[in-house]
Amino acid sequence: MTTLDADKQLQLLIKFGGLVSREPRLDPLLELIADQVRAILNADRCTVFLIDLQTNELWSKIAQGLEHQEIRIPMGKGLAGITAVTGETINSVLAYGDSRFSADIDRVTGYRTRNALTVPLKNNKGEMLGVFQVLNKLDGGDFTGDDIGLLTLLGTVAANSLENARLYEDIRRTQLETIYRLAITAEYRDQQDTALHLKNISAVSCLIAIAMGLSADDCEDIRQASTLHDIGKVGLCDAILHKPGKLTPGEYEEMKKHTIYGAKILANTESRLLRVAYRLACAHHEKFDGSGYPNKLKGGEIPLEARIVAVADVFDALCMPRVYKPAWGPQRAYDYVMAESGKSFDPEVLAAFKAAFPKILKIYENMPVGGQAAV
């Protein structure tokens, strides 16, 4: 074979197959493939392009040197675009002397492509999925016939995993859209700024979770599941939801039942995401000191996700106008929330909220404050 000896390349190939088969998520899979292919081919960079049939473009979020910015290339343009259309392998030994080469990405990144190897990425049916492209052989030489064979083999190994990952993404996207529309059903009965409210709580909850050092998967689950925290409001009557004044004790007790209704709606699910939503629906009104509802949970008895969303929910509610109050400015809402440390809210969650606040503040910079000065 080429620069790496045959045994070493075989080991890398076996490792490659094992790694890609275990990663169901598309973005991490693309990053994993790009890193592995670059190492196996002894190239400076690797890009995995996938075909977007709706726009007739190649796209990649994993283009080394672009800091994970998505790039798009029209089908038929440049080496990758030509390979995607024709299915041919292109080994360009002198990129800037090749009329098929497009320097657009080099101009964006400041990179200088010396040589490039581009092979089609096909599934078992021979259908085109995308393109592998490796750039600049690290030993200073050119890509060889052995490299072409190896990259083609890597594409064959990766294709099944990529198809599975795209299917997983489609299923998850459908699930998230269903969840979002279900959340809107509940929120729309309560207020008219539904989409903005859900968007804000989702974003703030995720930023807090990130600041707490939670895993990427946990942060994403909290971001998505947070939209369902008030799903139980579908069980409340309009007279309570839309009452402009203070609720009577009896009305308030009825309002508190939305946590119980939400728990019943989301109970006994097999979905990891909906299990998070279940915990949020049950416990987002529990208070750290045990004075909340419905179960008067205290401290660590309250699920962490609910402790996080409780902060985001109250903060956003204060920043948004309601039938019973004008909006508060973000700084005033922040001060109120921080003053509830150890009472309504977990001090550790509030420490993360404080750390994330500069980013959170950007969400609210351009929002109207309903007659209250944003201070």
Q: Where are the alpha helices (DSSP H) in 95-144?
A: 104-109
Question: What three-state secondary structure class fits 120?
Answer: strand
Q: Where are the alpha helices (DSSP H) in 189-327?
A: 194-211, 216-225, 238-241, 249-256, 258-266, 272-283, 304-319
Closest Cα partner for 135 from 74, 28, 85, 60?
60
Distance CA 154, CA 151 (A): 5
* Helix residue ranges per DSSP H, the chain: 6-21, 26-40, 78-86, 104-109, 145-188, 194-211, 216-225, 238-241, 249-256, 258-266, 272-283, 304-319, 330-339, 347-364
Verify whether residue 354 is a known catalytic residue: no
307 exposure class (CB count in 10 Å sphere: 0-12, 13-18, 19+): buried
Name the active-site residue from 233, 246, 256, 362: 233
Residues acting as catalytic residues: 233
